[in-house]
Structure 1
């Protein structure tokens, strides 16, 4: 039996100093991005395919930085360009390590759609080990989340990848002043149904006033042995509501994270505990 969705904090959680981020009003989502998404699906010919993921390293922007569609092979595509003024790459790397350790940390990110998170005992030990480099506290780790990403509550396994598994090197990311948060996802609606694979990448790069995330999702794919593999059976098409819901959700959750992260990082002294 599935456990109920957690929507409130326990009395113990309320005592933690960062519970205020759960209790405060959720930041307004980026209206400019919402207006783009409200216009409907983008032209699929403007999407980049997962085989071309290294294209994100290039300076400038794609013709479509924010949009969603169904690709000709039936898979789903999402692109979103979120802005994070006052945020650094160190803050981003810290966040993806820190928030995995406790339900409320995931919930305060976006309480309307985040209901719980867990990691294995082995991963928890690695994350909490002060000798583990920050990137390794999430790269190679797996988060098990309960989330409504726009189409109802799902149980999602997020297996974070190392940049090398996507064809990026540490040196070129450093040169580009960027960090990569990427994963294979496997989700299943809590109402039942098949498990749905996806590749997720958030390519964070520095901007004059902070960082931006060039996010891309390929629904129906996973990275296997360094190559994107279409796992959606031929002849099957993902409903357009799936990438559409994810696109809107991504704008909402990252708009809120952009607001809370600078002060949260400062209050936690950039430490993992």
Structure 2
């Protein structure tokens, strides 16, 4: 299964990444994925999300659970050797324009396309890379473990999701991207990175069952109901896979394509 490469895509200079084996997922992460949910008391609550931008983030760093209020929660940390914050800012804009192959090479088994609704804004050289996702919606087709499923990721300026902009560019948070996912499994997603020896630590948090209404983050799960455990488990499994692979391909890909929006 997985995505296919078209004849047109085979001619693109980055097609070689499609033919590479996906990077291996660290065994300790697979053990967590297979080992059952974490203690929900050790999760970072969405109300405390600005603590995610600190150098020391409370709670478990890798794993998933169902929160006491019924929402899902996913956390992941990936060491990315030779990757810089600038590369990540570039990546989140670059893969959403041009050929669908850009999204496929991230995870050829599960990614089909990611298409920005404002490609001219994303490709505008006057827009700094870290702002190329702000206010841009990505229409995505991907499979997080339950079959290919379309969703819309509505990327936001961090302050639009209640994040403290003064924390970006600090030791705890070199850069970040955040979005609200709309689809069968709505979620608030935040990725950040911080510099460490030899590269970056790329960290993710997902709060599943939340959305944005009138500028406020709200819980969409009715009180008394819970997200099935398979949802955060599947998202966690997908996340540890796609970011292991991105860590493997990004330094070389950036070197080759950084000027080719």
TM-score tier, shorter chain, comes to over 0.9
Structure 1 runs (4+) deviating above 4 angstroms are: none
| Aligned with 2:167 (options 158, 169, 172) | 172
Equivalent residue of 2:105, what SS?
A: helix
Partner of 2:195: 206
CA distance in 1, matches of 2:51, 2:213: 19
Partner of 2:139: 144
What is the deviation of 1:214? Answer: 1.9
Partner of 2:106: 109
CA distance in 1, matches of 2:56, 2:164: 20
**1:133 aligns to 2:128 (yes or no):** yes
CA distance in 1, matches of 2:167, 2:251: 26
What is the deviation of 1:8? Answer: 1.4
**1:39 aligns to 2:35 (yes or no):** yes
Q: Is the 8 A contact 1:151 1:241 kept in 2?
A: no
Alpha-carbon spacing, 1:44–1:21, altered in 2? closer, same or farther (3 Å): same
**1:271 aligns to 2:259 (yes or no):** yes
Alpha-carbon spacing, 1:47–1:155, altered in 2? closer, same or farther (3 Å): same
Partner of 1:159: 154
**1:238 aligns to 2:227 (yes or no):** yes
Tell me the TM-score normalized by structure 1. Answer: 0.90
Equivalent residue of 1:214, what SS?
A: strand
Partner of 2:13: 17
Q: Is the 8 A contact 1:151 1:242 kept in 2?
A: no
Deviations 1:77-113 (A, max 9, x none): 1111111111000000000010001211000000111
User: Structure 2 unaligned runs (5+)?
Assistant: none
Deviations 1:107-130 (A, max 9, x none): 00001110122222xx11101111
Partner of 1:183: 179
Equivalent residue of 2:249, what SS?
A: helix
Instruction: Give the count of matched residue pairs.
Output: 259
Deviations 1:249-268 (A, max 9, x none): 10000000000000000011
Q: CA RMSD in A?
A: 1.7
Deviations 1:219-249 (A, max 9, x none): 1002445542101122322110000011011
What is the deviation of 1:173? Answer: 1.1
Deviations 1:118-175 (A, max 9, x none): 222xx11101111122122112111001001122211010001111123334432113
